[in-house]
Amino acid sequence: MIAAKDNSPQLTPEEYFAWEEKQLEKHEYINGEVYAMSGGSVNHGRIAIKFTAMFDSHLENSVCITGNSDIKINIVETKNYTYPDASVTCDDRDKITAQHFTYPCLIVEVLSNSTEAYDRGSKFRMYRNNPVLQDYLLVSSTTIEMDLYHKKDTGEWIIVNYKEGDTVELKSINLSFAIEQVYRGLDLTPESEPTI
């Protein structure tokens, strides 16, 4: 999804939760500022749905919970909240919060032109403060490509680039899948800019 700064006054986290309940669209909350989340492309939405369905099916008999783009992530040790496209938590602490996850082991962001730099940069720097996050998957919506940021047991983050023909491995939830599975049925023709 695409985030744009809202012109609202700075809010406390409590004010943000109360205010957002009355809004028609979702808003991320970073350092007291709110950012409207506008809709993404059809491919963006379909890819996010495929991930949540795949995760939910894979984790059906586990203690883990799959989150879609309606579930906020509270950035650990901050009062910041984001909306990833998909997430998974297996942490009992997330079972006692009704409005968000704080300790996901897996986060998925479907990339768009306007948010790719943010998703790869400052958003990932915020997410990696989470001690239980193991996999951060960035997914192209225009080509068969994914970049996985995986935290090794040593705490070091490595990047694994996946392309057509590859099998994606998410160690955080013990899931492997053919990359094409996510892109099946999608039109990957590059989107043209609107003309006036």
List per-residue pLDDT tens for the chain, 196 residues long. 445 455 566 888 888 878 878 887 778 888 888 887 766 789 999 999 999 999 999 999 999 999 999 999 999 999 899 999 999 999 999 999 888 999 999 999 999 887 888 889 989 999 999 999 999 999 999 999 999 999 999 999 999 999 999 999 999 999 999 999 999 999 987 654 444 4
pLDDT at 194: 45
User: What's the pLDDT at 193?
Assistant: 45
- The neighbour count for residue 110, using CB atoms within 10 Å, is 28
**What is the model's pLDDT at position 190?**
64
Compute the distance between CA of residue 107 and CA of residue 134 in angstroms, rounded to an integer. Answer: 9
What the chain holds in terms of domains, given with CATH numbers, is 40-183 (3.90.1570.10)
Contacts of residue 146, defined as CB under 8 A and 6 or more positions apart, other chains included, come to 137, 138, 139, 140, 161, 162, 168, 179, 182
Taking the C-alpha atoms of residue 51 and residue 87, their distance in angstroms, rounded to an integer, is: 9
Q: Specify the residue for token string 């939405």.
A: 45
